[in-house]
Amino acid sequence: MPLTLNANEARKADNFSSVIRDTGKYICTITRAQKLLSKRGTEGVGFSVKTEDGATANYLDVYTVNAAGKALMGNSIVNAILCCAKVREAVEGPIEFDVWDNNERRMVKASAEGYPALMGKKIGLVLQRELSTRDDNGEDQDRMTIAAVFEANTGFMASEILAQATKPEKLDKIVATILANPIKDRRKKLDGPNSLAVAPHAAPLDDSLDSIPF
């Protein structure tokens, strides 16, 4: 059969981007830094990123504070992102970003409350594939999570930046540890320990602004 140009199908090709599915180290640009608030009152930040070759990772949701005001492990990740992106403070404000529309089968523009100061920032991320069980329906889910953060152009991690280290030494060791167990399995149906791959988290920033070297 002959090939006939279909303009609508041709346009859809422009909306395609590969999705990051493998554990590893990535240099990214932040394309979404959305404020999150769960039904239980837990606060967080929803990140989306894109690599230089167009690969994307969406729904990198990091929860920072629970309803009682207690800091969660994700708080360290968000602080490490601030540090490695050289952002001292990110105030809330409106942001625009792309989301997948199931009805239109393409990426569309959306807007929400977020952190404009982080939008478009270069960041280094170690992403890890995670298998888990959804609380709402008990189904298994397969997603990427932020395991570690580093400065995109130097490889320094947050603690090294704050200590004004002269050589990045931690990142390669962390990447090697994670790649040795690339899939973190937290599914509830498993017997025994859920996973041997415990992702390291960067240390939170010092509360004193004078201790931040940028």
**CA 84/CA 103 separation, integer angstroms:** 37
- Per residue in 195-210, pLDDT (tens digit) is 333 333 433 444 556 6
Q: List the domain boundaries for the chain.
A: 17-202
Strands (DSSP E) found in the chain: 24-37, 43-51, 56-65, 93-101, 106-114, 122-133, 140-150, 183-186
- 168 has a pLDDT exceeding 50: yes
Where do we find the tokens 């570690």? 148
Which of 81, 209, 211, 51 lies closest to 157, judged by CA? 81
Residue predicted with more confidence, 156 or 99: 156
- Per residue in 64-108, pLDDT (tens digit) is 999 999 999 999 999 999 999 999 999 999 999 998 888 888 889
